[in-house]
Structure 1
Amino acid sequence: MTESKHIVELAAREIIFYSTHDEQSFFEWIKKIPCVEEYSGRGDTLFLYVKRDMLDEDMLRDLIALFHRYGVDMRQLRKFDDESFSEWFNNPEKYWYRYVFG
């Protein structure tokens, strides 16, 4: 799937899982985020396809938490910094700020 203005591709590279349940939890979490339309893996990379027009604050917070917990490059979440979220998302006092915008 190629990225469009409505679908945003995010890449999770070289994720380390510490147990079978850890890996299961990761995929269960992805499935619970409604804006993640699909995901697929190639090599050591898992691609998440996010429906941009469906993304809300709760879902973005879930993506932030998921990426932070599993060490996924959070800089790619900058794609979601727009007027819908910037008041709280682009806040230097939040734990994710330096990982996303630093």
Structure 2
Amino acid sequence: MAVLTQEVDGTTWWMDVSSVESDFYSGYVTSLRPGFLMLGSSVLDRKKYAESEMDKGGVVQLAIADLTFFSPRDEENLFAWLASVSAIEEIKGSGDSIYLRVATSLGDDDLMELISIFSRYGIDMAQLSIFDGVRFPWLREKGMFWYQPMFG
């Protein structure tokens, strides 16, 4: 097993990368633990990273894994819906996972579409918390359907 480790605030974080091609995740954002993410081989605080990337107009990667389609049209509809979101710069498949490169300059409408897609298809919504911050204060509305799956 190949493992990347890094200590953050006195805690050692790790990621098993034995099945990941190093050039694939290098430079992309990969989920690690709630509240943290991995960029290349560095573990970063998710909220601080998101705020700095929002200012720079960067790109984050979101992952869709273990998705079940109930018909060919169901699969076509997901990809058509994803393609309609202007902030998604790239949709890439690897094994049974789909990776989305999303511009951090996205607006309210694109973020709401991502929330809707993730909710409809049962995709891990916690990774959307990377967009939590000053630009999207409405994400923290506790009564909304996305709050619990996104923030726990």
1:91: which partner in 2? Answer: 141
What aligned pairs does 1:17-36 form with structure 2 within 5 A after superposition?
17-36=69-88
Q: Does 1:62 align with 2:62?
A: no
| Percent identity for Structure 1 against Structure 2 | 37
Q: In 2, Cα distance between the equivalents of 1:3 and 1:52?
A: 13
The higher radius of gyration belongs to: 2
What is the letter of the counterpart of residue 91 of structure 1?
Answer: E
TM-score, length of structure 2 as denominator length: 0.63
Q: In 2, Cα distance between the equivalents of 1:27 and 1:75?
A: 21
Q: In 1, Cα distance between the equivalents of 2:93 and 2:72?
A: 18
1:3: which partner in 2? Answer: 28
For structure 1, the 5+ residue unaligned runs are none
For structure 2, the 5+ residue unaligned runs are 1-23, 30-52
Higher relative contact order, chain-length normalized (CA < 8 Å, sep 6+): 1
Q: In 1, Cα distance between the equivalents of 2:140 and 2:95?
A: 32
> Which of 72, 84, 101 is the matching residue for 1:49?
101
String of CA shifts for 1:55-95, please: whole Å, max 9, x gaps: 00010000000001111100000100010102x11111000
TM-score, length of structure 1 as denominator length: 0.93
User: What is the Cα deviation at residue 3 of structure 1?
Assistant: 2.6
What is the letter of the counterpart of residue 3 of structure 1?
Answer: Y
Counting matched residue pairs gives 100
1:78: which partner in 2? Answer: 129
- CA-atom RMSD, angstroms? 1.2
Q: Which has the higher helix share?
A: 1
